[in-house]
């Protein structure tokens, strides 16, 4: 995920602003980390550069 992508993303649950917490970066690319909603506190994991923004129910059930 590119850092600038954060400008167009919002929390799928409440539409709140997301905060980036990178763990592994390569230049402007975030490879691992998480996005945290500043409003509701929901967390979205970034794995291999892809943020998982599915609804909480789908993430918890493993739904694809």
For the beta carbon of residue 1, count every other beta carbon within 10 angstroms: 21
- What's the pLDDT at 62? 67
- Name the percent of the chain lying above pLDDT 90: 84
- What's the pLDDT at 45? 97
25 Cβ neighbours under 8 A, 6+ residues apart: 31, 33
Where in the chain are the domains? 1-32
Buried b (16+ CB within 10 A) or exposed e, 31-53: eebbbbbeeeebebebeeeebeb
- What's the pLDDT at 57? 84
pLDDT digits (tens, 9 = 90+) for 24-52: 999 999 999 999 999 999 999 999 999 99
């Amino acid at each position: 995920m590119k850092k600038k992508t954060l400008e167009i993303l919002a929390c799928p649950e409440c539409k709140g602003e997301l905060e980036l917490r990178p763990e592994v970066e390569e230049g402007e690319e975030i490879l691992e980390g998480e996005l945290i909603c500043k409003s509701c506190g929901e967390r979205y994991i970034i794995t291999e550069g892809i943020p998982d923004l599915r609804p909480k129910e789908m993430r918890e059930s493993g739904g694809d």
